[in-house]
């Protein structure tokens, strides 16, 4: 299975006054514009049949929708296991029940870095990973999706994705 990790685009700063519920905090207009450009490059790196699973948070859902409109089939599917603050173990469980060969997870930090670290070096390892907003990574699992069994194929920051045609 190929698993693509995608961090949501640039969102507004946290503000309990504007968004008492952080799940409702959206992408900024600039974040939308920049991710639209990155999504065009990223869509070229993804299989057209990739399944998009997204955090239910507005900023992640909007990022996934922008990516879907960049040339992928199907609509994003919301998964509570990808919400901010949910342990990486839940994402592993989610992937184990999926049958697709290519899955994209759209989510948050530090969730994505924790998942990537666990996938590459097992759950107790803590690799230091700089996962930029709007960036993406690809991990390949040859067999069962387990901590420590992933192979990092690539990781690209948003500025590189925006430069891809």
Query: Which CATH architecture best describes the domain 2-12+23-163?
Result: 3-Layer(aba) Sandwich (3.40)
- At 95, give phi and psi (nearest 5°): -65, -35
Q: Which residues pair with 7 in a beta bridge?
A: 107
**Once rounded to an integer, what is the mean pLDDT over residues 61-90?**
95
Please give the Cα distance from 2 to 120 (Å, whole number).
13
Look up residue 2 and give its DSSP letter: E
- How many residues are listed for the chain in this entry? 165
pTM: 0.96
Please give the Cα distance from 72 to 65 (Å, whole number).
10
Give the DSSP H/E element, type plus range, for residue 106: strand 102-107
pLDDT in tens, 106-143: 999 999 999 999 999 987 778 899 999 999 999 999 98
Each domain of the chain, given as residue ranges in start order, spans 2-12+23-163
């Amino acid at each position: 299975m190929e698993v693509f990790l995608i961090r949501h685009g640039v969102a507004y700063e946290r503000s309990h006054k504007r968004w008492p519920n952080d799940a409702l905090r959206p992408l900024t207009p600039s974040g939308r514009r920049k991710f639209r450009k990155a999504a065009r490059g990223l869509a070229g790196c993804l299989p057209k049949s990739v399944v998009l699973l997204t955090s239910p948070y507005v900023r992640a859902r909007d990022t996934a929708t922008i990516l879907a409109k960049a040339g992928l089939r199907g609509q994003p599917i919301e998964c509570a296991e990808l919400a901010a603050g949910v342990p990486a173990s839940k994402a592993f469980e989610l992937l184990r029940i999926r049958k697709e060969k290519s899955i994209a997870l759209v989510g948050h930090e530090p969730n994505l870095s924790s998942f990537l670290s666990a996938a590459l070096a097992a759950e107790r390892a803590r690799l230091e990973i700089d996962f930029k907003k709007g960036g993406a990574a690809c991990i390949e699992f040859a067999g069962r999706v387990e901590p420590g069994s992933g192979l990092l194929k690539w990781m690209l920051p948003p500025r590189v994705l925006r430069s891809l045609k």
